[in-house]
Homo-oligomer: A and B are copies of this chain.
Amino acid sequence: MKIIEKQPERTDLPLVVVPNIVGAMLEPFTSTLGLLHDVARVRIYTEPTLDDDTLVKRMEGAKGVVVIGFHVSDAMLNRVSDHVECFAFGGTGVASYINLIATRERGIRVCNVVHYGNGAVAEHTVALMMELARHVGRMDAAMHVGGWHGEDGVSLEDKTIGLVGFGGIGQQVARIARGFGMQVLVWDSHLDAQAAHDLEATPVADLGELFESSGVVSLHLPLLPETAGLITTEQLNRLQPGTLFINTARAEVIQPGALTSRLKLGDISAGLDVFDTEPLADDDPLRTMPNVVLTPHVAWRAEAAYTSLTKQLSQSLAAYFKGESFNIAN
């Protein structure tokens, strides 16, 4: 088993343990460890495990623990809370992975990471839009087999893109779309009017009107009680033939089944990275539709996201041991 250690001889410093890591994060994470120099010694277990006993054993003696890819169950928390003082969680939805109330009651800090995937998700949105517009992947697959069969594309520079949700990701998509020369419409329940103005995005008060007026529609809403099922069949029916519809946000912001029904009409196309159930069932009708482009929830998975995420982990732990506040979640 391979273990990477930084400053192991400095037993005067608190120990940070990474009991589990995914391969693609290892290099970005180790490159951020300068932030912990003279603050903590670090031990990284590079062989993945999801076994509770192994994870607890690896955390032995650690004051700081990086949580990637596993759940800290209440039982696990009981076994490590005599020595762990800070969990740094690397992912989205920390509350599903660590009991925030129980940790707070025991005085254990939990840190999360924020906005780490904005650029990656925005760029994947554009990648889906380009495949819908120009079919490069489809032609490439054919070219690798043989032959010479081109397809006409659609132009984007004279199109309007309607963005549903205008946080960090939506704003970055707007910035890229403006570079194309596209007109940008935006709907957000709490619109940042200054950002809309700065990015030359035109606010639209009615979601159905945005759907009707856009050649490309892309969703960038968080999943919240008030956004679940926000996109309805009635709104999807207002999409014009030829519209490119993109979802890299969450499937649950659309009424269950409404998008699949709309796509069955065949007059619009869609690029989807998120689904009601993941992994997507092998017999899901989306798998066989010619007018959809599918990716398996990878929009956030790009190197810049890993860089930002792992840097925030090191920053959070450094802040804790220096008595500062950073990314506190509980």
Contacts and interface: CB of A to CB of B under 8 A. Distances in A.
A134 B287 contact: no
Interface in A214-253: none
A123 to B, nearest CB: 6
A96 interface: no
Interface stretch (A1-9, A35-43, A48-56, A297-305): A297-305
B155 A303 contact: yes
Contact of A297 (B150, B278, B293): B150
Contacts of A296: 139, 143, 148-150
B157 A119 contact: yes
A98 interface: no
Nearest to A304: B155
Interface centre among A134, A136, A138, A139 (most CB of B within 10 A): A136
A154 B304 CA distance: 7
A131 B124 contact: no
A280 to B, nearest CB: 7
Contacts of A328: none
B305 A139 contact: no
Interface stretch (A72-80, A83-91, A177-185, A310-318): A177-185
B119 A127 contact: no
A126 B150 CA distance: 17
A150 B298 contact: yes
Nearest to A271: B136
A104 to B, nearest CB: 34
Contacts of A181: 119, 175
A24 interface: yes
Interface string A267-307: 00001000000111010000110000111111001111100
Given A150-B296, A153-B298, 11 more contacts: A123-B180, A128-B136, A131-B131, A131-B137, A144-B287, A144-B288, A146-B287, A148-B296, A152-B303, A155-B305, A179-B180
